[in-house]
Amino acid sequence: MTHSRPDPAPVQTAAELPARTGGPQEVSRLSRSPRIAVDLLGGDGAPAVVVDGALLALESDPDLALLLVGPRSVADEIRRGLDPVVRDRVDVLSAQHGVAMTDPVARGADPQTSIGAAMHGLAGDRADAVVSAGASGAIVAAAVMGLRRLPGVRRPALTAILPGAQGPLVLLDVGAGMQVNPVELVQHAVLGAAYARLVAGIDQPRVGLLSVGHEPGKGDKLRRAADAALRVHAMAGAVYVGLVEGHDVVLGTRANVIVTDGFTGNVLLKGIEAALGTAATTYLETYAPPTAVPRAAALLGVAGTVVVCHGAATAPDLASGIGLATRLVRADVAQQLALPARDAPDRLAEVPT
């Protein structure tokens, strides 16, 4: 059943929104249908592809509400074409400018841009989550500056769920942090294991650190130090299995949570996506239906729900990202990640940086 809403408030700019006062995912958010802020100017095919994805998401979830963030003319045109009942589920937050791939990442925090305005809307409780296919660096910068990091998290991690031969597999970081240290990799392992339980349905996650071999001592200085730290750091409800290799990411037999730096993870993810696209009719039908995993990545470690889609995302990809954001809000994942994140640093005080 579709829940009716009051008439939408007049279109606002990000500067007109109130400052955020509460923590991530407040109780009031859970008592109503989720409202997802969608960046209309993010992605190669924006705004047309984003609009199509948003419409698909609205059709698939009658309880979903959207906050369209972008030029008012574009948003108003979308709303005029909607059935009146659906129109009541769509609000507008005006932002005239996008963030180009060549712009400094800090521009993402500018409330005059669609990414910055969306984060401002989330921080001001006009939305419960943000979804964007824009520049990932700008999205991460906007989230860190606008929402703050969770206590105990030095660097957030973009986290993807992939179809593995043994079931879903969590891979992080896939692009948020290009240069990390051992402490941050251990923190990401903690976040990834918790995310695997909460979202991927993995009861006892098996965590592996990606390297060039599975024997102890393999890899560069970063991998060796992080491996040593993970061997002595107990993760609640999860087990560290040691170093893993690239084939483990596809098979998932040894580990179902794979931790790496954002540079390696991003290259690996794009290669896997291309391979899956080429072999979709065989691999996906054998190991997982196409709808079994979201085609987007969640930003873990910030005080709010942020989902990043690929810049070349299609309309179904955008709808999948909106669907993932909705799942995370309904499960209160951001709040549930706060405890493991806060507990990690004290136990890592002796890890070399």
Q: How confident is the prediction along the chain (353 residues), in pLDDT tens digits per residue?
A: 333 333 444 445 554 444 433 444 444 445 458 999 999 999 898 899 999 999 999 999 999 999 999 999 888 888 888 888 888 899 999 998 988 888 888 988 889 999 999 999 999 999 999 999 999 999 999 999 999 999 889 999 999 999 878 889 999 999 998 899 999 999 999 999 999 999 999 999 999 999 988 888 888 899 999 999 999 888 888 999 999 998 888 888 899 999 999 999 999 888 887 776 665 555 555 555 444 456 899 999 999 999 999 888 899 999 999 999 999 999 999 999 988 887 664 444 444 44
Whole-prediction pTM: 0.85
What's the pLDDT score for residue 26? 44
CA 249 to chain centre: 19
Q: How far apart are CA 47 and CA 322, in angstroms?
A: 15
What's the pLDDT score for residue 3? 39
How would you classify the pairing of strands 129-132 and 35-39?
A: parallel
What's the pLDDT score for residue 342? 76
What's the pLDDT score for residue 256? 94
| Contact indicator for 202, 256 with CB cutoff of 8 Å | yes
| Contact indicator for 159, 174 with CB cutoff of 8 Å | yes
Coil vs helix vs strand at 34: coil
Coil vs helix vs strand at 189: helix
Question: In the numeric block, which tokens belong to residue 122?
Answer: 């989330």
Query: Residue 348: phi, psi to the nearest 5?
Result: -110, 15
Q: Residue 229: CA atoms inside 13 Å, Cβ hemisphere, count?
A: 27
